[in-house]
Chain A
Amino acid sequence: MDKKTVEQIAHLARLDINEKDIPEYVTNLTNILALVEQMNTVATDSVEPMAHPTDAVQRLREDIVTATNQRERFQAVAPQVEKGLYLVPQVIE
């Protein structure tokens, strides 16, 4: 873990971090990764990964409309909307 890696991950996560905080993130992340390294003390080749505690599977339902359109309601909490569309800075020149 180094400054460059932290900057790369922050970019992947689209997360602006302050230059002055980077050394602390390097230390924190190094320590956390050292902690999780302990997982490698156990062989798990034949172990089935556990994604859901009771191994439940997705329920299926009939393909019918269940939700009503509430665009105005949901867009009332948006930072910027116009004519029912979300506004962001120009993407294409």
Chain B
Amino acid sequence: MHTKTIAQLAAGLKAGEFSSVELTQHYINRIQTFDNGLNSYISLTEERALAQAKRADERIAAGKAHVLTGIPVAQKDIFCSDGVKTSCGSKMLDNFIAPYDASVIESFNNAGSVMLGKTNMDEFAMGSSNETSFYGPVKNPWNVDCVPGGSSGGSAASVAARLAPASTGTDTGGSIRQPAALCNLTGLKPSYGRVSRYGMIAFASSLDQAGTFTQTAEDAALMLSVMAGLDVRDSTSIDEPVPDYSASLNNDVKGLKVGLPKEYFADGLDADVAKRVDDAISEYKKLGAEFFDISLPNTHLSVPAYYIVAPAECSSNLSRFDGVRFGYRCEEPKDLEDLYKRSRGEGFGSEVKRRILVGAYALSSGYYDAYYLKAQKIRRLIANDFTEAFKQVDVIMSPTTPTPAFKVGEKDDDPISMYYSDIYTIAVNLAGLPGISVPCGFVNALPVGLQIIAPYFAEAKLLNVAHQYQQVTDWHQQMPETFK
């Protein structure tokens, strides 16, 4: 059952080939067998999952099923889930039982999906390798000496090893697309404001967006249909109609205009990764797509601008963790200031502290214009580059990452080298655009991802373009031998 896509599983449930309880138990068994070596889950919510599965079977029998009713899903541990530990990968929230559901969790509950558990992640979503988690690193199912990417590393590894048919993630600078590329998955980051951030623990509020990990674009369409839409509880949620994302999947891509930004194929891109992306471009040419060389001239400023905007917003957002109302509190504080300082000093890990310090510096008196305001202006230039490009082309394609998965520990001592592993994904967040990574081949038995970027709210186009490629290639069907 675990090799099937969501669409296939939904058909199986509907036809009565298996029940949701059987399906859920199958995944729980697989998690118990395989996850010790991967560490992709922080919490396994077995009892709750089986109870949800039983209710889903009743709903299916009553003919009231949604397409995702009875489908098991793994949720990133950044989404508050009522009555379940929601740690955000941090010691700070190791004791935090969320008292309410995030909108994303609520949406899956309403659809009748089954939550298998909460997946591992970089602490507060800050990282590109899933090595900053309080719960230890996640391993890449394709090679356990390698990282799965991050910050949604557990969400990616769990689906790559088929310990869940699909999972949710969040993407602030590439945290869905980068791990999807490194783990051979379809990873969708919707437009900023498309999916509610309510109950999703905030890292950088002007960049954070929830999305999905699936085997196929067809499955991503099903997942996004459940998650997307206006939510008045998130003031940045956008009131934009939600189309039927599945309806346009089969449109052909003949005459599709695709831009190839020269800055995304420059120095720093691994030659073998470039070849796999070229192969994908050849496939699209066979399907009738037309390619154009374009330029996004401010690309080189995206990592610098991001490393002001994201830390500044993180230092502000993480000020809520004060040891008073929830989360970790230090032992025997001698006064209130000591309570704040030691609770935060002991509760946060080193990358989180580093970013709080950068952000607090950038926002401190006298520096606001030089850093945060400057970075917001650079953001505008980066967004304008895309606006200009989309006057000429329908979508943009590039590699998702400059290299395949790197080794665990390889970039430990060099935060900046780690930051550059997101060089092709960050600009999309700064501009707020939707992007997707799809599997496009292997280099030394490690997966490579093709990134596709579309204009605001053109997720249906993105999914259509990705789906058409998956009709003529089978990279997305490959799974790591050890987990079959």
Residues of A within 8 A of B (CB): 5-6, 9-10, 12-18, 21, 25, 28-29, 31-33, 35-42, 44, 47-54, 56, 58-59, 61, 70, 73-74, 76-80, 86, 88-91
Contacts and interface: CB of A to CB of B under 8 A. Distances in A.
Contacts of B348: 15
Interface stretch (B146-154, B304-312, B403-411, B438-446): B304-312
Contacts of B345: 15-18
B376 A51 contact: yes
Nearest to B369: A49
B285 interface: no
B232 A59 contact: yes
B357 A35 contact: no
Interface in B325-376: 325-327, 329, 333-342, 344-346, 348, 350, 353-354, 356-358, 360-361, 364, 371, 373-376
A8 to B, nearest CB: 8
B242 interface: no
Nearest to B315: A13
B311 to A, nearest CB: 8
A29 B193 contact: no
Interface of B: 95-97, 99, 191-193, 206, 232, 235-236, 238-239, 298, 300-301, 303-305, 307-308, 315, 319, 322-327, 329, 333-342, 344-346, 348, 350, 353-354, 356-358, 360-361, 364, 371, 373-381, 383, 415-416, 419, 431-433, 456
Contacts of A18: 345
A35 B307 contact: yes
Given A50-B376, A54-B456, A32 B300 contact: no
A27 B182 CA distance: 30
A54 B192 contact: yes
Nearest to B342: A16
Given A50-B377, A52-B206, A89-B338, 6 more contacts: A13-B360, A15-B345, A29-B354, A36-B305, A52-B236, A59-B235
A35 B435 CA distance: 25
A42 B324 contact: no
Contacts of A59: 232, 235, 239
Given A50-B383, A54-B238, A89-B336, A80 B329 contact: yes
Contacts of A16: 341-342, 344-346
Contact of A36 (B239, B304, B376, B380): B304
A2 B178 CA distance: 34
Contacts of A40: 374
A13 B356 contact: yes
Nearest to A70: B99
Contacts of A36: 304-305, 307-308, 371, 375
Nearest to A76: B99
Smallest CB-CB A-B distances: 4 pairs: A53-B432, A16-B345, A49-B376, A79-B329
Contact of B326 (A10, A21, A61, A77): A77
A88 B336 CA distance: 7
A13 B356 CA distance: 7
Contacts of A86: 324-325
A49 B373 contact: yes
Given A15-B356, A36-B307, A77 B96 contact: yes
Contact of A47 (B324, B344, B381, B433): B381
A17 B348 CA distance: 10
Contacts of B239: 59
A33 B416 CA distance: 11
B375 A56 contact: no
B325 A39 contact: no
A42 B168 CA distance: 37
Contacts of B97: 76-77
